Amino acid sequence: MIRVPAPPEFALPAAWRARFVLPAALVLLAPALHAAGAPAGAAGNSPLLKLGRFEVRPHLSYSLQYEEGVLTSPGDADSTFVESFSPGVLVLLGQKLTADYSADVKMYSGGGFQDSIDHDLQVSVNQPVAGAMLTGSQSVSLSSRPSLETGRQTEILAVVSSLSGGLPVGNKLSLVGSVNQSLQFVKALPDSSSWNGNASASYNSGRSWVASAGITSGYSAVYKSPDTFFIGPQVSLNWQPAAKFSLALSGSLNDREILGGTRDRQLTPAYNVGATYSPFSHTSVGFTGNRTDSPSLLGGQSLESTQFGVSLQQRLLGRLRTNLGFTYGLSKFITTVEAGPPSRRDDLYTYQVGVSLPVVRRGSVSLDYQRSINASNAPGFDTDSTSIGFSASYRY
């Protein structure tokens, strides 16, 4: 187990106070200022700017976290304060177009980390075409964050595109399909590209469940590593037998082949499960589970990832919202090239506690605590990290 050094004495530099702490105070004061200047009876969800169907809704968030046990390189962990200031804007054009952009300025006190400005853009379009409803989405994100997979702060540019559609055939039957593209550019590590698609028939019982069955296929390419191809059947079910309980699950059995690699052709399962039970109006218990297979950031390996989680959400005193959660994740890094890196297994246990409080109509403040314990058979990737932080947000 890595010994984490005691946190250094820390005081926010004057430049930080001027650029971040003062804007953070505005985040907290903005809801009150807005409420003071708003006419009585004004709608709580009105946008900042509205011209016909065109709406502009800015948002702003601030957080200050203390983290310890975070890997700066395999075998080396550090402690740091992380201050984050994230302005952004949501633009809507009726029900057809949504565009959301955020910038995230992060500053670290720990010497093993580099300050960064992350960017995230999400665009989605809905358009009916000849009786079918087409939905397209495009996301572009640039991030530089500590990664347990690589054991250090890692800069990633991700570009994800998708197009999906549904065509009704009768009252209860529909034909649905989608195609997706994911491009990932990683600094100082191999880039990768993935394409996948699926087609299925969906049946809506008109009562409490919707089921579908079809086929899925995909192809992945990693720089200087073998390409991967898969194809297989897939099924899904959405079921809500009562107002207090809902279940959503999907799964496929993929015939996967690594082209020119060290692994033989094999059948690999993939699934996604989510269930929610609400015994009381302000109490909710959730369960999630999923398994995926994708190229690893490290190159020359495929990543088989399995995760299960449970959560409890409870509202207290009319306004205070609490959240308890536990997640177990199993990551298997399997070598796909001759003389490649040795296979690796990580068992990650994560405990989370959080409380949040709405502020006036549009803002919220929260406190969060998280502890993550990773047990790995690879030297340098065992960690016991803790994070505690405060955040405030405001959205029009």
Mean pLDDT of the region 224-229: 88
In this prediction, residue 95 carries a pLDDT of: 84
Q: Is 355 exposed, middle or buried (0-12, 13-18, 19+ CB in 10 A)?
A: middle
pLDDT confidence band for 133 (50 / 70 / 90): confident
Q: Is 156 or 11 the better-scoring residue by pLDDT?
A: 156
In this prediction, residue 262 carries a pLDDT of: 63
The answer to whether residue 25 scores a pLDDT higher than 50 is no
pLDDT of 313-323, one tens digit each? 999 988 899 99
Task: Give the distance from CA 274 to its chain's centroid.
Answer: 15
Q: What is the DSSP letter of 15?
A: H
DSSP symbols for 164-206: EEEEEETTTEEEEEEEEEEEEEETTS--EEEEEEEEEEEEE-S
Question: For the stretch 323-349, what's the b/e string if a residue is b when 16 or more beta carbons lie within 10 angstroms of its beta carbon?
Answer: bebebebebbbbbbbeebeeebebebe
The answer to whether residues 109 and 81 touch, using CB atoms and an 8 Å cutoff, is yes
Mean pLDDT of the region 108-125: 95
The answer to whether residues 254 and 234 touch, using CB atoms and an 8 Å cutoff, is no
The answer to whether residues 374 and 347 touch, using CB atoms and an 8 Å cutoff, is yes
In this prediction, residue 225 carries a pLDDT of: 86
Q: What's the predicted TM-score (pTM) here? A: 0.84
In this prediction, residue 261 carries a pLDDT of: 62
Mean pLDDT of the region 107-122: 95
Task: For residue 202, report the phi and psi dihedrals to the nearest 5 degrees.
Answer: -115, 135
The answer to whether residues 176 and 200 touch, using CB atoms and an 8 Å cutoff, is yes
Q: Alpha carbon of 110 to those of 13, 53, 265, 323: distances in Å?
A: 13, 46, 45, 29
